[in-house]
């Protein structure tokens, strides 16, 4: 009986914890628009650690983007919105750089398009 009660309490606590952490993790969808090789508007995207993040990219020129740290890469074609989805498990300030605008693969110059700030809880 005693053992059952303890198991019950433990299970309850686990459910509560899971529920709490699930409730705290938000889903963040952020639209990022590239025009004339620059991001329109604020060049910092802010999310909270643990969030499920979707960066929805659209561009007026073919480009590859690279989210450093998380090391995610994505090729975007003009006028085809493309999504980059990940869980923001690590806090920090991560640059997103562009590579090869207009389909030039040998474009070495690394330009920061956007900073992703993942703030700690």
From residue 22, give the alpha-carbon distance in Å to each of 55, 83, 91, 92, 118. Answer: 21, 23, 18, 21, 18
User: Residue 7 Cβ, how far from another protein at the closest point, in Å?
Assistant: 32
Which is nearer to another protein, 12 or 69 (by Cβ)?
A: 69
User: Residue 49 Cβ, how far from another protein at the closest point, in Å?
Assistant: 8
Query: Is there a contact between 44 and 73 (Cβ–Cβ < 8 Å)?
Result: no
Which is nearer to another protein, 41 or 120 (by Cβ)?
A: 120
User: Residue 4 Cβ, how far from another protein at the closest point, in Å?
Assistant: 37
Which is nearer to another protein, 81 or 93 (by Cβ)?
A: 93
Element (H, E) at 16: helix 2-24
**Chain positions contacting another protein, by CB under 8 A:** 44, 49, 68-70, 89-95, 99, 108-112, 115, 117-120
Kindly report the number of other CB atoms within 10 A of residue 83's CB atom. 10
């Amino acid at each position: 009986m005693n053992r059952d009660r303890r198991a019950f309490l433990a299970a309850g606590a686990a459910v509560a914890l899971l529920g709490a952490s699930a409730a705290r993790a938000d889903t963040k969808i952020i639209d990022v628009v590239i025009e004339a090789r620059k991001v329109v508007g604020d060049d910092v995207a802010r999310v909270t650690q643990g969030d499920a993040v979707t960066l929805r990219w659209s561009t007026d020129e073919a480009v590859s983007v690279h989210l450093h740290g998380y090391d995610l890469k994505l090729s975007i074609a003009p006028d085809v919105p493309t999504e980059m989805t990940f869980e923001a498990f690590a806090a920090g300030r991560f640059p997103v750089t562009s590579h090869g605008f207009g389909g030039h693969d040998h474009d070495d110059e690394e330009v920061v398009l956007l900073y992703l700030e993942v703030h700690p809880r």
